[in-house]
Amino acid sequence: MAYILAAMFAVLLSLTIVLFWQLQLQKSALAEAMKTLGAIDGAVDVLPEPDMVLTVKVLDPITVAKRESRSARVLADHLPVMVRKMVYQQVMTEMGEQLSSRGIDVEMNIEYR
């Protein structure tokens, strides 16, 4: 019985030593990460501010197309994806014309999400 208890004690002692060693490794890795974070934190102040982006979503492009174009009334039911693309292209064109007539320089893109 004493041998079994001694063996269990030895196993638990070795497990404790291994866990303590792992804890020390984690502490040193954390200290290195904190040093790196401190170096990055000093550089954060010089980063430029993020760009502001305006997003426009046409809520019902098919209805807009049917209302604005005679040919879209025919195509909308058969080629809805193409009609949606055409609506967005036209909206982008009209917005670009309005903004440029007011002297506002813009960069406009259509994003597919």
User: Mind listing the pLDDT tens digit for each residue in 20-45?
Assistant: 999 999 999 998 888 888 776 665 55
The model's pTM: 0.55
Question: Domain map of the chain by residue range?
Answer: 1-47, 49-113
Q: Please state, in angstroms and rounded to a whole number, the distance separating the CA atoms of residues 68 and 62.
A: 10
Amino acid at 3: Y
Length of the chain: 113
CA dist 50 and 53 (Å) reads 9
| Residue 28, CA distances (Å) to 38, 39, 42, 47, 59 in order | 15, 17, 22, 29, 54
- Give the lowest-confidence range in 28-37, 39-48, 71-80, 91-100: 39-48
